[in-house]
């Protein structure tokens, strides 16, 4: 067989563990032939490519690891599953089976949780926009509601009036915990006095009863001390409110934001070194609680961890559909999955595993997605051996935010399967076809072409 001509390239070999661009690139790429014992080749044969694959085992393991880290240190812990992080029914159902409530931030997510079988009192309703009807439903069904702004206080007072009852509410706080830029657009600011003004307003209206505090300081937080600061400020605020207004604060909801073992672009160290363990976060948080709570007080500690639970439980299998050489000499590939499916590619550098042994020198390569859009790049700079059209790559971790922030742009969205704990494979979201995209469209009669 005549070998195809390949332009020679000279690549400087960097030795040692680290250079100024971070850890040295992998020379031997990891090979992954299966996900939880199910062959990747078979998965692609049965469900096509690209293909998202969720591991039920890993998902349950991650949840238990986080829950145990907190519940072994503090007696009153409740998790709420952050729907926005991944609201596939199968994912939510696994986490609800494990004991998580539904944490939703819109009417749509609220309806999704209800349809799945969660009752109102099993839902935490956060977010900056809760329409009046959604608030009315949530109040009637007994959901936990965390207020975002003054207008929502007024809306909820109207709901309370309409339903003829006092309504228990929480408020969302924002504060300086050393994490910048500060997420100050949500909730009421503590340091400026705005949060206390909100409580005064609630007390003055006498239609709502404050019984909880909520906060979410950001996402992919690498600093356990930030949570310790958050907890201290929340507990201090709770006592001030209890002492001044006679309220009883039943829960302190500290939000989510714990990192997954993903590699944030621009970080030098590998996630294994950089990311603090779940136990470090749990230790700081519960320590801060014990230091600031009055003896005998154990308000419910609510956590809304999203990415730390789901991210590493999901993979994306993608296939190479074309091999190219760029004018600067770099090898480039076109894959059948792009930023339409991996929205988080803009921030994270994924693990890339090969599915088969490939011989040949590794080269810094670019992997483009299938979109006719210049910024559709899902990896740049990874050293890859010479891949061929038809070969598969496995990207991970991809469980957080990709199945919710993905775009229906140019391409259909593919199948998603879950590898179950018993080794079986279930289709949990069927790939789209034209009917899904056009179902809501209406073509005016006079524009019809035939
Ligand atoms: C209110 C709230 N809770 C929880 C989460 C989940 O965050 P993460 O996935 O970073 O844990 C978010 C994410 O933005 C959020 O806004």
- pLDDT of the residue at 30: 86
Q: Domain map of the chain by residue range?
A: 18-53+312-433, 127-303
**CB of residue 106 inside a 6 A radius of ligand 1:** no
Find the 449 Cα to ligand 1 centroid distance in Å: 47
- pLDDT of the residue at 192: 98
The protein residue with its alpha carbon nearest to ligand 1, atom 16, reads 216
**CB of residue 351 inside a 6 A radius of ligand 1:** no
Find the 253 Cα to ligand 1 centroid distance in Å: 12
Q: Where does 127-303 sit in CATH, by number? A: 3.20.20.10
Predicted confidence band at 304 (pLDDT cuts at 50, 70, 90)? very high
Find the 82 Cα to ligand 1 centroid distance in Å: 6
Which of 313, 377, 315, 439 has its CA nearest to residue 47?
Answer: 315
Cα–Cα distance, 395 to 52 (Å, whole number): 9
- Mean pLDDT over 338-346 rounds to 97
- pLDDT of the residue at 204: 98
Write out pLDDT tens, residues 167-199.
999 999 999 999 888 899 999 999 999 999 999
Cα–Cα distance, 213 to 151 (Å, whole number): 18
Architecture of domain 18-53+312-433 in this structure: Beta Barrel (2.40)
The residue whose CB lies within 8 Å of the most ligand 1 atoms, and thus the one to mutate among 78, 83, 84, 184, is 84
List residues bridging with 23 in a β-sheet: 18
285: tokens are 């948080």
Find the 25 Cα to ligand 1 centroid distance in Å: 32
The protein residue with its alpha carbon nearest to ligand 1, atom 14, reads 219
C-beta of residue 343 within 8 angstroms of C-beta of residue 395: no
**CB of residue 307 inside a 6 A radius of ligand 1:** yes
91: tokens are 């994912």
Does position 70 have pLDDT exceeding 70, yes or no?
Answer: yes
Find the 280 Cα to ligand 1 centroid distance in Å: 19
**CB of residue 304 inside a 6 A radius of ligand 1:** yes
**CB of residue 216 inside a 6 A radius of ligand 1:** yes
Find the 270 Cα to ligand 1 centroid distance in Å: 23
C-beta of residue 312 within 8 angstroms of C-beta of residue 261: yes
Quickly list DSSP for 317-335.
Answer: EEEEEEEEE-TTS-EEEEE
- Mean pLDDT over 234-244 rounds to 98
Find the 376 Cα to ligand 1 centroid distance in Å: 26
**CB of residue 256 inside a 6 A radius of ligand 1:** yes
**CB of residue 365 inside a 6 A radius of ligand 1:** no
Exposure string for 31-63, b = 16+ CB within 10 A, e = fewer = ebeebbebebeebbeebebbbbbbbbbbbbebb
414: tokens are 């593919």
Indicate the SS3 state at residue 281.
helix
Write out pLDDT tens, residues 55-66.
999 999 999 999
Does position 12 have pLDDT exceeding 80, yes or no?
Answer: no
- Which numbered atom of ligand 1 lies nearest the CA of 85? 9
- Mean pLDDT over 381-404 rounds to 97
**Alpha-carbon distance values, 104 to 118, 145, 271, 304 (Å):** 12, 10, 29, 10
């Amino acid at each position: 067989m005549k070998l195809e001509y390949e332009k020679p390239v000279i690549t400087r070999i960097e030795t040692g563990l680290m250079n100024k661009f971070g850890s040295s690139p992998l020379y031997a790429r990891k090979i992954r032939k299966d996900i939880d014992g199910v062959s990747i080749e078979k998965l692609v044969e049965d469900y096509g490519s690209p293909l998202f694959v969720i591991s039920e085992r890993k998902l349950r393991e991650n949840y238990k690891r986080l829950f145990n880290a907190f519940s072994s240190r503090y007696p009153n812990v409740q998790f709420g599953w952050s729907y926005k992080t991944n609201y596939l029914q199968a994912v939510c159902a696994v986490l609800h089976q494990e004991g998580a409530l539904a944490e939703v931030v819109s009417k749509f997510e609220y309806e999704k949780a209800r349809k799945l079988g969660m009752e109102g009192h099993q839902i935490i309703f956060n977010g900056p926009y809760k329409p009046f009807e959604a608030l009315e439903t949530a109040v009637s069904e007994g959901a936990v509601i965390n207020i975002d702004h003054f207008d929502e206080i007024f809306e909820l007072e109207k709901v309370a009036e309409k339903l003829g009852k006092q309504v228990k509410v929480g408020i969302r706080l924002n504060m300086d915990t050393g994490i910048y830029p500060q997420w100050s657009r949500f909730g009421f600011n503590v340091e400026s006095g705005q949060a206390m003004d909100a409580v005064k307003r609630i007390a003055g209206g006498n239609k709502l009863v404050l019984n909880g505090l909520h906060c979410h300081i950001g996402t992919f937080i690498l600093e356990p001390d930030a949570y310790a600061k958050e907890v201290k400020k929340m507990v201090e605020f709770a006592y001030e409110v209890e002492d001044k207004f006679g309220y009883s604060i039943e829960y302190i909801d500290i939000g989510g934001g714990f990192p997954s073992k993903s590699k944030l672009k621009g970080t030098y160290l590998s996630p294994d070194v950089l990311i603090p363990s779940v136990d470090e976060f749990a230790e700081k948080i519960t320590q801060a609680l014990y230091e600031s709570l009055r003896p005998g007080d154990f308000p419910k500690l609510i956590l809304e961890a999203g990415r730390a639970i789901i991210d590493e439980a999901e993979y994306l299998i993608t296939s190479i559909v074309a091999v190219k050489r760029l004018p600067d000499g770099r090898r480039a590939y076109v894959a059948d999955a792009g930023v339409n499916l991996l929205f988080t590619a803009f921030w994270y550098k994924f693990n890339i595993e090969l599915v088969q042994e490939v011989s040949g020198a590794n080269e810094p390569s670019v992997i483009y997605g299938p979109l006719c859009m210049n910024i559709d790049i899902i990896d740049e700079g990874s050293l890859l051996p010479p891949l061929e059209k038809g070969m598969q790559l496995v990207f991970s971790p991809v469980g957080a935010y990709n199945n919710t922030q993905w775009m229906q742009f140019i391409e259909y969205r593919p199948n998603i399967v879950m590898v179950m704990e018993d080794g079986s494979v279930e289709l949990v979201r069927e790939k789209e076809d034209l009917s899904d995209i056009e179902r809501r469209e209406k073509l005016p009669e006079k524009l019809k072409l035939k």
